[in-house]
Structure 1
Amino acid sequence: MTESVGIDRSPLDAVGEVLRSINRSTFELSTVLQTVIDNAVQICHADQGNIVRQDGDVYRVTAHAGTVAPEYLEMVMSREYRPERGSVIGRTVLEREIVHLPDVLADAEYTLGNVQAAAGYRTILGVPMLRDDVVIGVLVLWRLEVKPFSDDEIRLISTFAEQAALAIGLAGILGDTREALERESAVSQVLATLARSTFDLDAVLQTVIDSAARLTGADDGLLRAEDRDFQVMAFTPGISESFREAERRREFKPGRGSVMGRALLEARPVQIDDVLADPDYSFVDAQQVAGFRTVLGIPLQSEGSLIGVLGLWRTRVAPFSDAEIAVLQTFADQAALAISNVRLFETVQRQRTELARFAPQVAGLLTTPEGESLLAGHRREITALFCDLRGFTAFAEIAEPEDLFSVLRQYHGTVGELAVANGGMVEHFAGDGLMVFFNDPTPMPDHPLAALRTAIAIRERFHDLAAAWRKRGYELGLGMGLAVGFATLGRIGFEGRYDYAGVGVVINLASRLSSAAAADEVLINQKLYAMVEDEVEAEPVEALELKGFSHAVTAYRVTGLKS
Structure 2
Amino acid sequence: MIDRQTIHVHDIAVAEDEFPYTRSLGIPRGVRTFLATPLLCKDVPIGAIVIRRTEVRPFTEKQIGLLKTFADQAVIAIENVRLFQELKQRTAEVEASNSELREALEQQTATGEILRVIASSPTDLQPVLDTVAESAARLCEATQSQIYRVDDGMLQRVAVHGSMPLAEMWRPLTRGTPTGRAIVDRKVIHVHDITTEFESYPESKSRQQVTGSRTILVAPLLREGVSIGAILIRRQDVRPFSDKQIALLKTFADQAVIAIENVRLFKELKESLEQQTATSEILGVIASSPTDAQPVFDTIAQSAMRLCDGAMGVVSRYDGELVHLAAHTHVTTEGGEILRQMFPMRPGRSGVHGRVVLEGGVVHVPDAQADAEYSQSLRQALDLRSALAVPMLRDGRVVGAVAVGRLEVRPFTDKEVALLQTFAHQAVIAIENVRLFNELKESLEQQTATSEILGVIASSPTDIQPVLEAIVKNAARVCGASDA
> Could you say which TM-score interval applies, normalised by the shorter chain?
0.3 to 0.5
Rg larger for: 2
- Structure with higher strand content: 1
- Structure with higher helix content: 2
After TM superposition, the score normalised by the length of structure 2 is 0.43
After TM superposition, the score normalised by the length of structure 1 is 0.38
Structure with higher RCO (Cα < 8 A, 6+ apart) = 1
